Structure 1
Amino acid sequence: MSMHNPPHPGLLLEDYLGDISLAEVARRLSVTRATLSRIRNGHASVTADMAVRLGILLGTSAELWLGMQTSYDLWNERQKPQPNVVPIAS
């Protein structure tokens, strides 16, 4: 288990976008600027649909974006008190 907080995938978008404005990227992705801004600022998750769109736009894999989202989500979930789940005896 990772001991550090993985970044939200939205924070890594800047590395891929360079000087292209969020408005232009949103237009190319066929989403609203508000939707993209929420992802960029870590206030919304990268969904499977968005991962596919980002993969096409940026020449990456959808799995890259979903993997980053999953790592981020799991790390954050593991910081919370764990439920009292009783394992199935093997």
Structure 2
Amino acid sequence: MNRNGIRPIHPGEILIKEFMEPLGMTVMDLAMHMSWPESEIGKLVLCQIRICADLAIRLASHLNTTPEFWMNLQSSYDLRRTKVGFG
């Protein structure tokens, strides 16, 4: 957790809770629609990998968001996680 008591939230958590679950979408569904490896989407929702620019573009295209949305989530997560280490 950081100083305000809120833990850093990984973009994979946002992806699954705010997009995939409400849409009834599985990891396989999203991977297939995006032409992206299912194993990589699985790692993302398990918070094991970072979002790269290419993945941000694909997520934005298929989820009606922007690449900046996904990249900002990732950079915010990275910054908060780093601050925790220094706090």
Give the TM-score taking structure 1 as reference length. 0.81
Cα RMSD between the aligned structures? 1.9
The answer for the alignment partner of 2:83 in structure 1 is 78
- Report the structure number with the largest CA radius of gyration: 1
Q: Which runs of 5+ in 2 are unaligned?
A: none
The alpha-carbon deviation at position 80 of structure 1 amounts to 2.1
Alignment identity in percent? Answer: 26
- Deviation per CA, 1:17-58: give whole Å up to 9, x if none: 221111011011111111001111100001111101000000
State the 4+ residue runs in structure 1 displaced beyond 4 angstroms: none
Q: How many residues get paired?
A: 82
Give the TM-score taking structure 2 as reference length. 0.83
Q: Which moved more, 1:24-33 or 1:49-58?
A: 24-33
